[in-house]
Chains A and B, each alone.
Chain A
Amino acid sequence: KAGVTQTPRYLIKTRGQQVTLSCSPISGHRSVSWYQQTPGQGLQFLFEYFSETQRNKGNFPGRFSGRQFSNSRSEMNVSTLELGDSALYLCASSLPDFYGYTFGSGTRLTVV
């Protein structure tokens, strides 16, 4: 079966711009989580969605937002980009039991 698909794989943006990243979960997975990974901070939780509802949010500024559509696909948006937002953004989907997450390959965002 198809895995978790994230698009685009690579992105270069300028400070002050905004960006939208997309995630298509495994068919049947209704929970989608987003993570930011940097060398210094590791994997940091951004937010989790289930049936179009955000159930949990990490400690990130309001510039980071997300949403989930009725087909479980999810997007995250970062507005007013800063250099420190450069990171690998990972999306993961799971069944409601949370016994295993399947990650996508990520979107490498570089802010210049």
Chain B
Amino acid sequence: TQLLEQSPQFLSIQEGENLTVYCNSSSVFSSLQWYRQEPGEGPVLLVTVVTGGEVKKLKRLTFQFGDARKDSSLHITAAQPGDTGLYLCAGVTRSNDYKLSFGAGTTVTVRA
């Protein structure tokens, strides 16, 4: 059983559309991170959120951390083909500070 549940597992959209990826857990996280991974490469950190209710924006990407610090979402506005990739959420719990646990990931495909 994954500590972090991501949904949906796959997402295929047309260029210009919006999309949202969700990351949920029953555990409380001291920090939650989002990564994007391309085939054959390691994940690349997009953002870290640490405060409940926090919203961070990175160009067309908006990240939210739930008030209870148990869930997060990633919203992409006007998706582009360059946004294609595997999106992973990962969190560190207070009881296990030395371990970053990952969700299963959401594969996003943006068609031109």
Which A residues lie at the B interface, using CB under 8 A?
A: 4, 31, 33, 35, 42-43, 45, 48, 50, 55-56, 58, 88, 90, 92, 98-106, 108
Contacts and interface: CB of A to CB of B under 8 A. Distances in A.
Interface string B50-92: 1000000000000000000000000000000000000010101
B45 interface: yes
Contacts, number: 61
21 contacts: A33-B100, A42-B103, A42-B104, A43-B102, A45-B102, A58-B99, A92-B42, A92-B100, A98-B31, A98-B92, A98-B97, A98-B98, A98-B100, A99-B50, A100-B33, A101-B45, A101-B100, A103-B42, A103-B43, A106-B40, A106-B42
Interface residues of B, number: 25
A18 B42 CA distance: 23
